[in-house]
Every structure is written in structure tokens, then in C-alpha cells.
Amino acid sequence: MADAKQPYRWKTDKNLHGVHFSSPLDLLQCWADDGPQVAPCNIGVYKQIWKPKMAKRFEDASWYGGAPSIEDVVEKVEDGWASGAARIDGYRNEIQDSVGELRPVAIRRVKVRGAEGDELDYDRMRRGDTDQMWTRSVRRARAKVAPVVTVMMAWGCNAFVNQEAMFWTGAVAIGVTDMLEEAGFRVALVGCDGTGLDGGRNALLTVEAKSFNEPVNAALLASTMCHVGFYRTFGFLGLLCTDTKFPTSYGRAEDFRLLVDTPEDLGYYADTSLIKVSWCRSRDEALRETSRLLEQVAVMA
């Protein structure tokens, strides 16, 4: 127990205690190891509520997105949620077709043809295509654009939110992350679950679903950021790892954007640009939020 890997914890002057897991797999390991990362102040809730109830399905399976057991949730994470990934791919294709000029501008160096340049294309010269026979390498974004971006999405929900509603915020975050990566950005995707408690106390759980150096794996991201079963099992477990004492009712979902103004509020990722994805509970809300985020990217450029 004493040697278990501990998550990163921090505190701000907003009466906020935060805890950060560097991977969803770390939350699974916390469960497998019987909770060595749970904060001492929350051991009682862990033993009396989480283990006998939340981890044992005290509600019907629909409250967990159709997952009949915690083992089923773990399997989705380990194998990927194929049907969720297929929906995300469909949504991403839709927004690619609809956003038009709002697409993020590529920051990679690309070859541009013209009447002047650095390299001569002899085939075009022989064809007499003098306006397009030279190529040169240019960058497609201005220097102000940070190549490293953290996409922070509102993760989690109150008790009345179902699987369909839970899906859309993650779909937006994953779709935008994929588009930014294709445009040349290095992107981390972080799920952020804010919780408000009595007495003005706040807790924030953050889980790095994708690091800057990882490719976009839609099946894995869907199983963690879009599936309500993962949140209502392992998200609830992660909250108990903050140094904020939780009641048995677990408090109320809070918009993390009220708790995080700058990357410094997180205690990490201070050198990145921050994009915050708000809750989306329907396809229409998701489309509006996607357009807003990509407009933000355009302003950043």
C-alpha cells in the first residue's frame, strides 16, 4: 500500500483541492489495488459507499450506460468502445464538412508552388507551367500560435444525466483534438470533473485521457470520456483521492471553468494554451460548442 503510485495533488486559494491522474489506467489500478490513493479523509466514504454500492451496481445498469458490472467497464477501457468510436468518427466527419473556414490553420511546413521559390520542378518547366514550376517551404500559421495545446473538457455529470447526454461533450473534445493534431498541434486531452460541496468547498478531478505524445485513439477516449459507466465508477473513485472530505451524497457537479482560470490553477501544464470545452448534452449543443472552440483557435492564431 505505502509504495503505490500517488496522483498529483494541489490546492488553490479558491478553497479548491485538486487531484490529477496521468492516465485513465491509473484509476483502474487504484481499484485493482484496493484504493491506496484514496485520501485519508475519504477512507470512510470509500469503504462504506464506493466499494459496497458504486462498485457493486446499486442502481440498474442503465445508470452506468448499460454496463452490468465494473468488470464490463474495465473491459471497455482495455479493449476500446468500438461503437462509441464509430459515432465520434461520424461526428468528426460532419463537423469537418460544416465548419469551413473555422478549421484550425496548419502550423506544419508545407510546399507551396509559384513563379519563384527554392526548388525547381523540371517536369512543370518542360510543360511550360512557369507560374507553378518553383516550390518553397512555408509555415501556415503565425508565430503567435502555440504548438502545444491542452484541451480541457467538462467531464462528469449529475445523477439525472443519461448515457446519450453524457456522450456529446466527449465527442466535441475528441473531435476538436483530432482536428488540431491533424493541423500540426501537439494536444493533450484532459477530463475535468468539478464538484461543489457544503461550506464553499470545491474539489477538482482531472484525468489525462491523451498525452501530448500519444496519437488520438478514439476507441479508448470514447470508453473513458464519453461513457457514463466509467465516470460513475472510476470518476467517483478519483474524487475520493482529493484532500477534500466528501459526504456520502458526493456533492453536486460544478462547471470546472469556474474553478480554473489559467493553467497555473491546475499546478501543471503552465506552458500550454488552454481550450475549455463546456458541457454539451445534445448534438445541437455539440455543434455550437465545436464552432465556438474553433473560432477561439482562429483568434489564437
Q: What is the pLDDT of residues 11-38, one digit of tens each?
A: 887 788 999 999 999 999 999 999 999 9
For residue 215, what are the CA distances in angstroms to 21, 85, 175, 232, 234? 19, 14, 13, 26, 23
Q: Give residue-wise pLDDT tens across range 157-179.
A: 888 999 999 999 999 999 999 98
Percent of the chain with pLDDT over 70: 85
Query: pLDDT tens digits, residue range 215-271?
Result: 999 999 999 999 999 999 999 999 999 999 999 889 999 888 888 776 666 666 556
pLDDT, residue 255, reads: 86
Taking 70 as the threshold, does the pLDDT of residue 83 lie above it? yes
Q: What mean pLDDT, rounded, does the chain reach?
A: 86
pLDDT at 55 over 80: yes
pLDDT value at 1 more than 50: no
pLDDT at 88: 94
Residue 107 pLDDT:
67
Band (115; pLDDT cuts 50, 70, 90): confident
Amino acid 78: pLDDT? 93
pLDDT at residue 260, as a whole number: 78
pLDDT at 143 over 50: no
Q: What is the reported pTM?
A: 0.84
Q: Regarding predicted confidence, which is higher, 63 or 262?
A: 63
